């Protein structure tokens, strides 16, 4: 009985100690489990759409007129809403995003601001609460059914609720009409994703018009109605639909828009129509549809008549357009496997010569690069419009910065910045315009993924482009910064701090490390394409992305998603200690076989040297005895190993025990560069799972043919390690690796 009691006490003590040890290191390798939503018939455990997946549809027939004298928009639309959900609906929600600029908007009220003793006037006006004279926001004139009968509706800031005369049952559709108007904002004054720019030299305007019509909010299986208020950061959650849009503008304006132009012969000259037809079969260089000379002539006089441009766009989630008498227009075709879309650019003379040279080619390269990594671009056109100080995306059209100096000169920085923003904004056609994530909730699902693909496309088509944002090397200062100013990537768009780093840079850098360091390009590329293919023209959640990447690769990545997306931990791995051994004959005593590079030690010195704990590079190797295997280690096995052969196999080899420490908390693979005494080096990689039993410290034994001089962690800076000064062992007193990296890039 005493024996049993003693054993239970011993086991209990061991169990308690193990539990305490486990509690200290719990978390990083636990499965996401209930952190992710429970799979169901709509969204499966594999990350694919379920067999009962559904999504709503909203079709629009819009007539809109641009008033160039008063800088305003007036429109009327007929919306047909299809209820494909399994529930009846008694009301509908619409987004009124222009109301962000209304007098009663919550956006300026809820923005924090501070002041210094000296501020430029423009910034002072932005930071100080004042009575804005701009009359912004939608003026909703009527909401009626197909018979002209008014529908009850309530406007709540940037959302409008429309009560249905009777429940809209599953499988039914309902059509209704909205008439509205609003004043267009001056983007120079208040920024914004759309608006106008005024050119005082020739007294003309360039309009980039978006969020210009009341749009159906999204209703789905995850949130029901996505009716979060639009405060400015969290963008849009929308349903797919078919659009027919008639845009009336001054007759001397050129219009670019989502979709295909339906009446080119009515709005273009015969010569311009011929050029457009020619461009549809030109694959090498853009064709000028409207030349700079024609645009310069056009901007000198203001026509009094009007023209209506008609566009049709199927299976898109939104619509935007640009209009100006200043536009130059060029276009070319892009040869894909199945499709032949048109790449186009619209820009004023102020964009040349840079835009004529680079813009449409960047559109073409983006379609080629993204199509190869995801799915073939399905739309008929992709358009880049030049507008000052903006980068913003919509289906088939985007607005991009990059303006040369007045004399036409430009720096390399200006050129690369312009090409980068075009790739990024055109790339948004794939994420989120087709892979239709909820931007109001999860900015990173489009911005982070798109920044990552933008960088891969830049590397492929523009190898001379300098170091890019969203790579592991460019995210370290942010990740290692003050945690009071950092929030996890999995944070709602309106609560994000350091928006660019959180939603763009960190997710992109995470995917870089996932592709190049953890999974490898072959596995990653196949899994990423699977995600894109599964969810094109559908609406994925973060869980669908996480699950698909694992499902399609057989790589357990829960630890990765947890560390990079759910925490603010950073990467900081270091070599804490190195011990050096060599095999010695079993019968020879330790004291007489300690060797150093400086010669033999006497017995007293050797004993002290062997027992000393040091963080410096070992000048001495310690003898390692490999004894004969005791019979008890074989258990029930009848066969035996050859102990002499094992000793002979490792005779003369250098045995190193290396201890690594995780200072930053974010577990990552350990990439080790062994720098040998003869001047050569080799790199080995240990998967992140080495940290699974102790997330703070890990040790590993290596048998090497050659003697080491030093060890370097992450030599190519693949893991976003925030402190490179402790990545070399022994520590270097001379210029750190990080300083050498900065010097190298400053030379480049």
For tokens 């008014």, name the residue.
150
Residue 581: which pLDDT band, with cuts at 50, 70 and 90? very high
Residue 27: which pLDDT band, with cuts at 50, 70 and 90? confident
Residue 129: which pLDDT band, with cuts at 50, 70 and 90? low
User: What pLDDT is recorded for position 467?
Assistant: 76
Q: Say how far apart CA 304 and CA 632 lie, in whole Å.
A: 101
User: What pLDDT is recorded for position 124?
Assistant: 67
More confident residue, 688 or 595: 688
Residue 114: which pLDDT band, with cuts at 50, 70 and 90? confident
Mean pLDDT, all residues of the chain: 90
Q: Say how far apart CA 92 and CA 599 lie, in whole Å.
A: 86
pLDDT digits (tens, 9 = 90+) for 31-61: 998 899 999 999 999 999 999 999 999 999 9
Overall average pLDDT of the 351-359 stretch: 98
Residue 109: which pLDDT band, with cuts at 50, 70 and 90? low
Cβ(400)–Cβ(390) below 8 Å = yes
Extract the tokens encoding 217.
Answer: 């909010």
User: What pLDDT is recorded for position 261?
Assistant: 98
User: What pLDDT is recorded for position 133?
Assistant: 73
Closest-CA residue to 54 (of 226, 227, 220): 220
Does residue 668 surpass a pLDDT of 70?
A: yes
Which domains are delineated in the chain?
24-49+438-570 (1.10.390.10), 54-239 (2.60.40), 573-747 (no CATH)
Residue 95: which pLDDT band, with cuts at 50, 70 and 90? very high
% of the chain beyond a pLDDT of 70: 88
User: What pLDDT is recorded for position 738?
Assistant: 39
Using DSSP's 3-state secondary structure scheme, residue 432 falls into coil
- Residue 491, CA distances (Å) to 101, 299, 442 in order: 25, 46, 7
Residue 115: which pLDDT band, with cuts at 50, 70 and 90? confident
Does residue 589 surpass a pLDDT of 60?
A: no
Overall average pLDDT of the 273-283 stretch: 97
Residue 731: which pLDDT band, with cuts at 50, 70 and 90? confident
Residue 628 backbone phi and psi in degrees, to 5: -65, 145
Query: What is the reported pTM?
Result: 0.89
Cβ(699)–Cβ(658) below 8 Å = yes
User: What pLDDT is recorded for position 104?
Assistant: 78
Does residue 598 surpass a pLDDT of 70?
A: no
pLDDT digits (tens, 9 = 90+) for 144-155: 999 999 999 999
Weakest-pLDDT range from 101-115, 343-357, 713-727: 101-115
Does residue 468 surpass a pLDDT of 50?
A: yes
pLDDT digits (tens, 9 = 90+) for 62-72: 999 999 999 99
User: What pLDDT is recorded for position 120?
Assistant: 78
Residue 255: which pLDDT band, with cuts at 50, 70 and 90? very high
- Residue 385, CA distances (Å) to 255, 345, 466, 728 in order: 10, 6, 24, 48
Q: Output the CA torsion 448→454→456→461 (10° steps).
A: 180
User: What pLDDT is recorded for position 610?
Assistant: 43
Closest-CA residue to 28 (of 696, 722, 720): 696
pLDDT digits (tens, 9 = 90+) for 500-541: 999 999 999 999 999 999 999 999 999 999 999 999 999 999
Residue 236: which pLDDT band, with cuts at 50, 70 and 90? very high
Does residue 636 surpass a pLDDT of 80?
A: yes
Closest-CA residue to 150 (of 181, 180, 177, 182): 177
Does residue 597 surpass a pLDDT of 50?
A: no
More confident residue, 596 or 482: 482
Does residue 110 surpass a pLDDT of 90?
A: no
User: What pLDDT is recorded for position 587?
Assistant: 52
User: What pLDDT is recorded for position 20?
Assistant: 44
Pairing of strands 381-386, 397-400: parallel
User: What pLDDT is recorded for position 118?
Assistant: 76
- Residue 477, CA distances (Å) to 467, 514, 726 in order: 15, 20, 15
Does residue 433 surpass a pLDDT of 70?
A: yes
Exposed/middle/buried for 613, CB within 10 Å: 0-12, 13-18, 19+? exposed
Overall average pLDDT of the 110-133 stretch: 67
Overall average pLDDT of the 2-13 stretch: 40
User: What pLDDT is recorded for position 26?
Assistant: 56
pLDDT digits (tens, 9 = 90+) for 615-635: 678 888 999 999 999 999 999
Q: What is the 3-state secondary structure (H, E, C) of 61-80?
A: EEEEEEECCCCEEEEEEEEE
pLDDT digits (tens, 9 = 90+) for 642-667: 999 999 999 999 999 999 999 999 99
Q: What is the H or E stretch that residue 393 is in?
A: strand 391-394
Does residue 314 surpass a pLDDT of 90?
A: yes
For tokens 């461009």, name the residue.
279
């Amino acid at each position: 009985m005493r024996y049993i009691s003693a054993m239970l006490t011993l086991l209990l003590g061991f169990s308690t100690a193990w539990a305490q040890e486990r509690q200290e290191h719990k978390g990083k390798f636990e499965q996401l489990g209930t952190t992710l939503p429970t799979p169901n018939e709509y969204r499966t455990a594999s990350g694919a759409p379920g067999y009962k997946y559904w999504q709503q549809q909203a079709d629009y027939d819009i007539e809109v007129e641009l008033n160039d004298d008063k800088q305003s928009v007036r429109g009327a639309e007929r919306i047909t809403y299809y209820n494909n959900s399994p529930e009846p609906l008694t009301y509908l929600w619409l987004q009124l995003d222009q109301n962000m600029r209304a007098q009663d908007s919550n956006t300026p009220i809820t923005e924090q601001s501070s002041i210094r003793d000296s501020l430029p006037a423009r910034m002072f006006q932005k930071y100080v609460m004042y009575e804005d004279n701009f009359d912004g926001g939608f003026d909703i004139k009527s909401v009626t059914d197909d018979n002209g009968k008014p529908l009850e509706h309530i406007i709540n800031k940037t959302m409008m609720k429309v009560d249905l005369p009777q429940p809209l049952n599953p499988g039914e559709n309902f059509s209704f009409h909205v008439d509205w108007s609003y004043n267009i904002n001056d983007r120079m004054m208040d920024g914004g994703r759309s608006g106008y720019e005024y050119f005082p030299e020739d007294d003309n305007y360039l309009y980039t018009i978006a969020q210009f019509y009341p749009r159906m909010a999204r209703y789905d299986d995850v949130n029901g109605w996505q009716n979060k208020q639009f405060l400015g950061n969290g963008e849009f959650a929308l349903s797919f639909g078919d659009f027919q849009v008639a845009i009336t503008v001054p007759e001397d304006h050129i219009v670019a828009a989502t979709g295909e132009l339906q009446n080119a012969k009515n709005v273009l000259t015969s010569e311009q129509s011929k050029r457009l037809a020619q461009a549809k079969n030109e694959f090498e260089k853009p064709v000028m549809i409207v030349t700079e000379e024609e645009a310069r002539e056009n901007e000198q006089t203001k026509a009094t008549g009007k023209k209506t441009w008609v566009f049709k766009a199927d299976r898109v989630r939104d619509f935007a357009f640009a209009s100006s008498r200043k536009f130059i227009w060029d276009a070319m075709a892009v040869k894909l496997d199945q499709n032949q879309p048109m790449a186009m650019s619209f820009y004023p003379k102020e964009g040349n010569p840079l835009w004529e040279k680079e813009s449409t080619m960047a559109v073409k390269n983006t379609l080629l690069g993204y199509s190869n990594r995801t799915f073939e671009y399905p739309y008929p056109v992709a358009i880049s419009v030049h507008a000052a100080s903006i980068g913003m995306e919509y289906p088939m059209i985007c607005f991009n910065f990059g303006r040369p100096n007045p004399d036409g000169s430009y720096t390399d920085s200006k050129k690369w910045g312009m090409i980068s923003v075009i790739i990024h904004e055109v790339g948004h056609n794939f994420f989120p315009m087709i892979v239709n994530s909820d931007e109001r909730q999860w900015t990173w699902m489009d911005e982070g993924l798109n920044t990552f693909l933008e960088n891969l496309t830049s590397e492929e088509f523009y190898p001379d482009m300098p170091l890019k944002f969203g790579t592991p090397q460019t995210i370290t200062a942010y990740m290692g910064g003050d945690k009071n100013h950092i929030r996890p990537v999995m944070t709602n768009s309106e609560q994000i701090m350091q928006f660019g780093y959180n939603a763009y840079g960190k997710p992109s850098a995470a995917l870089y490390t996932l592709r190049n360091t953890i999974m490898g390009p072959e596995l990653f590329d196949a899994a990423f394409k699977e995600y894109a293919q599964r969810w094109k023209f559908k609406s994925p959640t973060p869980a669908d992305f996480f699950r698909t990447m694992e499902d399609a690769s057989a790589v357990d990545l829960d630890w990765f998603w947890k560390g990079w997306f759910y925490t603010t931990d950073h990467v900081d791995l270091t070599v804490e200690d190195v011990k050096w051994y060599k095999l010695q004959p079993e019968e020879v005593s330790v004291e007489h076989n300690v060797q150093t590079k400086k010669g033999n030690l006497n017995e007293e010195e050797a004993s002290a040297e062997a027992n000393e704990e040091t963080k410096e590079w070992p000048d001495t190797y310690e003898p390692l005895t490999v004894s004969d295997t005791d019979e008890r280690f074989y258990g029930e096995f009848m066969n035996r190993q050859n102990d002499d052969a094992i000793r002979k196999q490792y005779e003369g080899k250098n045995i190193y025990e290396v201890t690594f420490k995780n200072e930053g908390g974010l577990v990552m693979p350990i990439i080790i560069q062994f720098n040998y005494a003869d001047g050569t080096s080799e790199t080995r990689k240990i998967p992140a799972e080495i940290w699974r039993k102790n997330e703070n410290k890990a040790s590993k034994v290596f048998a090497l043919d050659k003697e080491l001089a030093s060890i370097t962690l992450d030599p190519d800076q693949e893991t976003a390690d925030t402190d490179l000064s402790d990545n070399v062992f022994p520590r270097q007193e001379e210029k750190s690796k990080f300083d050498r990296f900065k010097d190298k890039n400053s030379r480049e």
